[in-house]
Amino acid sequence: MAKTLDRRTVLRGIGTAIALPWLEAMSPGTITRTARAATRKATPTRLAFLFVPNGVHAPEWLPTPGASGASPIPAELPPLLRPLDRVREHITLHSGLSHQNAAALGDGPGDHARSAACFLTGTHPRKTAGSDIVNGISIDQAIAAGTRGNARFDSLEIGCDPTLTAGNCDSGYSCAYSANIAWRSPRTPVAKETSPRALFERLFMAGPVGESKEARSRRLSRRRSILDAVRGDAVRLSKDLGGRDRAKLEEYLDGARELERRIEQVERSEQDSSGWGIERLPHGIPGDYGDHLALMGDLMTLAFRLDLTRVCTFMWANEGSNRTFPMVDVREGHHHLSHHAGDQAKIDAIRRINLWQNDRFADLIAGMADIEGESGRSLLDDTLVLYGGAISDGNRHNHHDLPIVVAGGGGSAMPGRLVSHAPRTPLCNLFRSMASVAGTPMERFGDSNGSAML
């Protein structure tokens, strides 16, 4: 008879503790239809907030909204959303959402900095390039505070551009605003992790506590997989599992090792960033932006799968990023192109960037939908992923009718719809609804004036 496992069971080795995905052995007794339903009801909803900078080519982003309410996603998506067609059953398109506090409100230029600062806070940041920054608490951190202790990490903050906390990045606004979307307090942005290796080791607790930089370097130079350290424990556990669970454990460990190999490949290679509009990349950061996004997205997915965290922010690039996109033949900087002033060549380049971004988002969502979660449901069924930014049209720098897509089926969400909100509905209304699904209801958040349909 298969052994019943605690949900927090880990595989242990020296300096390593690898959490396990959900296995049938973690449900006591026979898995009946009633037991599955009870497990689904008890399964927590994971929340991810994905930020993309510089707005979009708004005229080709959203379907024409109808009256307020929900309707099926149109059979033919607008041009820029066509990469999402393959995941249409998993997404909800939103129109009419707004971030009024990202507007100038008398502070003059600086829409990019305000956009990132306001994205998850709904707050108008103090205009300063000094250390006297003031913003608001972000929704991810508010939710993390309400669910503290339920997972190893209260929240994860990841990205592909470095965290900045000082300097003038946008018309008198501190770089802290442009480079951070997670804020623990009005004066404290939460630094994001950009290194796939560092995030991988953080998730698996690889390396002894207090390990020196030199010792870590020696350990990594030997290329010893962290999975080698837990192999004996995995073999012992496997003997107590049923056939399906043994296959699932093997598939999971193979997938983790493949992730590790991808990271090792980056570390072995010379990473050339010259074609991306970036002067220099730190060691271990992929030179290919697509590879970097994919690795960080897969590691976020792994953290959710192992229930290591319930909340994650993923900043695809800092606001105002002038990164180039040579893989779609865009050699000019993204920020520069977003100020196209009607130049058709620049608009075409922005289209290619937006299509590429949406294709990468579809990859991430499809991957989560293919992973079996608790009690037979997909991981995506128990996750809500919000994707977008706080600038709509990158040329106009407006902050209403924002490009927002929500994927997943966490809580009461019913994907496959276009939800048309009343014009200038605060995006914070949607955040309130997501917080409720996560078990942390809030009477008010940011500039919310109600809740919003998921």
Query: Which tokens go with 209?
Result: 């506590």
Q: In 3D, which of 314, 271, 335 has the Cα closest to residue 180?
A: 314
pLDDT tens track for 366-416? 999 999 887 578 999 999 999 999 999 999 999 999 999 999 986 567 899
* CA gap 301, 296 in Å, rounded: 9
- Between 334 and 217, whose confidence is greater? 334
pLDDT at 292: 96
pLDDT at 1: 46
* CA gap 448, 432 in Å, rounded: 8
pLDDT tens track for 96-112? 999 999 999 999 999 99
* CA gap 430, 453 in Å, rounded: 7
pLDDT at 39: 52
pLDDT at 63: 77
- Residue 221's CB is within 10 A of a number of other CB atoms, namely 9
Handedness of CA 352, 358, 364, 367 (dihedral sign): negative
Mean pLDDT of 255-279: 76
CA distances from 149 to 4, 135, 309 (A): 24, 26, 10
Residue whose token pair is 């490949």? 265
- Residue 375's CB is within 10 A of a number of other CB atoms, namely 21
Residue whose token pair is 């033949």? 329
Query: Which tokens go with 243?
Result: 């056939």
Mean pLDDT of 70-86: 94
pLDDT tens track for 144-162? 999 999 999 999 999 999 9
Structural domains present in the chain? 1-42+199-284 (no CATH), 47-194+289-454 (3.40.720.10)
* CA gap 109, 127 in Å, rounded: 10
Q: Please, what is the average pLDDT of the chain?
A: 89
Mean pLDDT of 246-266: 91
